[in-house]
Amino acid sequence: MSPSSLNKLIGVGILVFILVLLASSTTYIVDPGNRGIKVTLGKTAGQFLPEGFGFKAPFVTDIVSVNIRQRTRAVRADCFSSDLQQVMMDLRVIYRVPEDSVVQIYREFSGDPFDSLIAPRVQEAIKEVSAMLTAELIVKKREEIKQKTMAAAKLKIGSLLIVEDVVIRDIGLSAELERAIEAKMVAEQQANQARFTQIQTKIEAETAIIGARGEAEAIRVRGDALRLSPAFLRWKIVDRWNGRSPMVVPEAPNKNGADLLLPLGPADSIASP
């Protein structure tokens, strides 16, 4: 290859490299779930760039991506209850950056406001809520604590960020406090069981009394019926007769009784006179 041809080839290569460099420096791509911030010579543009492909001024403009997806971060808070018990709270905060706050978030928090804005506000909120409850109630009322913490955190953070949820993952108590709460809960369960047994015994006694009164009233009614209608007694005897020859006991002299039919054995059967 002649020197002139080699020089031309080198020149073409340099030209292609320059064109590729210019093309790469004048275009940008914002990934899905992100918004772009245009920074030109240290100055931030007032509007964010949507996701996708675009052009920019070469060498003097940078495109910074800000994530607007929903994210989850851990927060730990060392709290004190109203009865001055130390309680460790392990939380998970679900949050996201709204589009309208992308530029301000980048300017004030370098794109990630969690450590400098969200975490301190959430810790402050849950400490305030925990300070109004005893350690026992903190364990029992997790959902109430969660709702109050989330409401207080949103109020402190404002509209700059969106706190989707605050999850109480774990509540840590000292071993002595855990044993004391467990013993108290066991005592309450035993007391409830004793009260239930007392109520059940009372109901059973009242039921037995009502049953006895009913049975006594039934006996009285049957006695009155037999006294007023001797023929009913005769009918009952006939109704229960087993087919064996009866022995007749004559009617009482006062005429208020009834003839009684007494069964005889097979060998002792006699005819009624």
The verdict on residue 198 lying in a domain is no
Handedness of CA 118, 124, 129, 133 (dihedral sign): positive
Residue 110: count of CB within 10 angstroms of its CB: 11
- CA 191 to CA 18: how far, in whole Å? 86
The H-or-E segment that residue 205 falls in is helix 175-228
The verdict on residue 219 lying in a domain is no
**Do 32 and 78 lie in a common domain?**
no
Q: Please write down the long-range contacts of 2-6, taking CB distance under 8 Å and 24 or more positions apart.
A: none
**Do 63 and 78 lie in a common domain?**
no
For the chain, give the mean pLDDT: 78
Domain ranges, residue 29: 9-67
- CA 230 to CA 254: how far, in whole Å? 13
Range of 110-114, 140-144, 195-199 with top mean pLDDT: 140-144
- CA 118 to CA 129: how far, in whole Å? 17
What confidence tier does 270 reach under pLDDT thresholds 50, 70, 90?
A: very low
- Residue 23 burial (10 A CB sphere; 0-12, 13-18, 19+): exposed
Note the pLDDT tens digit of each residue in 130-145.
999 988 888 889 899 9
Sheet holding 34-40, edge to edge: 43-44, 34-40, 61-67
Of 34, 21, 26, give the one whose Cα is nearest residue 99. Answer: 34
CB 119 within 8 A of CB 75: yes
The verdict on residue 251 lying in a domain is yes
The verdict on residue 1 lying in a domain is no
CATH number of the domain where residue 75 is located: 3.30.479.30
Q: Which of 18, 51, 67 is the last residue of a domain?
A: 67
**Do 82 and 46 lie in a common domain?**
no
Return phi, psi of residue 252, to 5°. Answer: -65, 155
Least confident among 27-41, 50-64, 240-254: 240-254
Q: What is the pLDDT of residue 271?
A: 44
**Do 116 and 156 lie in a common domain?**
yes
**Do 81 and 101 lie in a common domain?**
yes
**Do 94 and 143 lie in a common domain?**
yes
Q: What is the pTM of this model?
A: 0.57
The mean pLDDT of 249-268, rounded to a whole number, is 51
The total number of structural domains in the chain stands at 3
Q: What is the pLDDT of residue 131?
A: 92
E strand residue ranges, the chain: 27-30, 34-40, 43-44, 52-55, 61-67, 71-80, 86-96, 162-172, 246-249, 260-263
Q: Which of 36, 67, 98 is the last residue of a domain?
A: 67
**Do 171 and 244 lie in a common domain?**
no
